[in-house]
Chains A and B, each alone.
Chain A
Amino acid sequence: MKHIPAERQPDASISRPLLRDDTKFAAGKIAAFQYVAVGVFVYLALGYWDLQVRNEEFYYGKALQNQIKSLPIPAPRGRIVDRDGRVIVDNHSSYRLILSRDTLREEHLRPIALGLNMEPSDLEAKVRRFRRQPSYLTIPLKEELTADELTFVEAHKGGDNFPEMELISSMNTRDVLGIKAAQPGKDLKLTIDLDLQVVGELAMQGRRGAVVALDPRTGEVLALVSTPAYDPNHFVGRIDTREWSALRDDPYKPLFNRALQAQLSPGSTFKPIMALAALESGAIDENFTVNCPGGANWYGRWFSCHKKSGHGAVSLKTAIAQSCDVFFYAVGNKLGIDKIAEYGGMAGLGRKTGIDLPGEKDGVLPSSKWKIRTQREKWYAGETISVAVGQGALTVTPLQLAHAIGGIAAGGVWMRPHVVRDEKAAEPLRKANLDAENVSKITYGMYAVVNEWGTAAAARIPGVEMCGKTGTAQLASNDLLKSKNMGEAFKDNAWFVGFAPRQSAEIVVVALFENGEHGNLAAPIVRDVIKAYFDKKARLNKLQQPAPSLASNLGLSGPDR
Chain B
Amino acid sequence: MAGYRSIRGLDWPLLAIALILCALGILQIYSATLDTAWRAAWWKQSVYLCVGLLAMWIMTQVDYHTLLGQVPILYGVSLVLLVITPLVGRLVWGSKRWIPLGYGFKFQPSEFVKLVIVLLVARYLTELKSDRLEIRDLLKLGALVGVPFALVYAQPDLGTSLTYMPILLIGLFLGGMRWQHAVAVLALVAVLMPVGWFFLKDYQKARLETFIDPMKDPTGKGYQVIQSKIAVGAGGVWGRGVTHGSQTQLRFLPVAHTDFLVSALAEEHGFVGILVVLGLYFLLLMQIVQNAQAAPDRAGMFICMGVCSLLLFHLLINAGMAVGRMPVTGIPLPLMSYGGSSMLSVFMMLGLVNNVRLRRFVS
Contacts and interface: CB of A to CB of B under 8 A. Distances in A.
Contacts, number: 175
A288 interface: no
Interface string B265-301: 0110011001100100110011001001101111111
Interface string B295-331: 1111111000100110010011001100111000000
Given A41-B278, A47-B325, A53 B271 contact: yes
A136 B39 contact: yes
B150 to A, nearest CB: 26
A242 interface: no
Contact of A59 (B232, B275, B289): B232
Given A20-B126, A43-B325, A66-B252, A25 B131 contact: yes
B237 A48 contact: no
A39 to B, nearest CB: 10
B236 interface: yes
Nearest to A52: B271
Interface string A1-30: 101010010000011111111110111011
Interface string A441-467: 000000000000000000000000000
Given A17-B68, A62-B234, A26 B312 contact: no
Given A52-B237, A136-B39, A23 B309 contact: no
Interface in A155-199: 172, 174
Contacts of A27: 293
Contact of B274 (A34, A38, A52, A60): A52
B229 interface: yes
A313 interface: no
A31 to B, nearest CB: 9
Given A3-B363, A49-B271, A16 B323 contact: no
Contact of A132 (B100, B127, B278): B100
Interface string A52-79: 1101101110111011000000000000
B121 to A, nearest CB: 13
A70 to B, nearest CB: 15
B233 A58 contact: yes
A47 B305 contact: no
B37 A30 contact: no
B97 interface: no
A18 B325 CA distance: 42
B114 interface: no
A132 B66 contact: no
B230 interface: yes
B295 A23 contact: yes
Contact of B275 (A20, A38, A45, A66): A45
A59 B70 CA distance: 52
Nearest to B69: A15
B278 A30 contact: no
A25 B131 CA distance: 8
Interface residues of A, number: 54
A44 interface: yes
B173 interface: yes
B141 to A, nearest CB: 15
Contacts of A17: 65, 68-69, 71, 123, 126-127, 299
B194 interface: no
B236 A56 contact: yes
B192 to A, nearest CB: 24
B155 to A, nearest CB: 20
Interface in B146-197: 170, 173-174
Contacts of A134: 40, 104
Contacts of A3: 362-363
Contact of B316 (A25, A29, A33, A44): A44
A84 interface: no
B297 A23 contact: yes
A536 B174 CA distance: 100
A423 B198 CA distance: 67
Contacts of B37: 136-138
A67 B246 contact: yes
Contacts of A30: 174, 289, 292-293, 301, 305
Interface size class of B (residues with CB under 8 A): 35 or more
A20 B129 CA distance: 8
Contacts of A36: 312
Contacts of B319: 44, 47
B285 A16 contact: no
A440 B129 CA distance: 121
Q: Is the interface of B mostly helix, strand, loop or mixed?
A: helix
A50 B297 CA distance: 43
Contacts of B297: 19-21, 23
B230 A62 contact: yes
A318 B325 CA distance: 95
Interface string A266-302: 0000000000000000000000000000000000000
B323 A47 contact: yes
A434 interface: no
Contacts of A138: 37
A44 B278 contact: yes
A62 B229 CA distance: 10
B105 to A, nearest CB: 10
B323 A50 contact: yes
A556 interface: no
A19 B230 contact: no
A241 interface: no
A37 interface: yes
A133 interface: yes
Contacts of A33: 170, 173, 289, 305, 308-309
A40 B315 contact: yes
Contacts of A118: none
Contacts of A29: 173-174
Interface string B218-238: 000000000101111111110
Contacts of A21: 296-298, 362
B104 A44 contact: no
A51 interface: yes
Given A18-B126, A53-B271, A63 B323 contact: no
A17 to B, nearest CB: 6
A523 to B, nearest CB: 62
Contacts of B235: 52, 56
Interface string B236-265: 110000000011001110000000000000
Interface string B320-363: 10011100000000000000000000000000000000000011
A52 B272 CA distance: 10
30 contacts: A1-B363, A5-B362, A15-B70, A17-B123, A18-B129, A19-B65, A19-B297, A23-B292, A23-B293, A30-B289, A30-B293, A33-B170, A33-B289, A41-B278, A45-B274, A45-B278, A48-B271, A48-B323, A50-B323, A52-B232, A52-B270, A55-B233, A56-B237, A58-B233, A59-B232, A60-B236, A63-B247, A63-B252, A132-B100, A172-B251
6 smallest beta-carbon distances between A and B, as pairs: A59-B233, A21-B297, A63-B234, A15-B69, A47-B323, A51-B233
Interface of B: 37-40, 65-66, 68-71, 100, 104, 123, 126-127, 129, 131, 170, 173-174, 227, 229-237, 246-247, 250-252, 266-267, 270-271, 274-275, 278, 281-282, 285-286, 289, 292-293, 295-301, 305, 308-309, 312, 315-316, 319-320, 323-325, 362-363
Interface of A: 1, 3, 5, 8, 14-23, 25-27, 29-30, 33-34, 36-38, 40-41, 43-45, 47-53, 55-56, 58-60, 62-64, 66-67, 132-134, 136-138, 172, 174
Given A41-B278, A66-B250, 8 more contacts: A15-B70, A17-B299, A20-B298, A23-B295, A41-B281, A43-B316, A55-B233, A59-B232
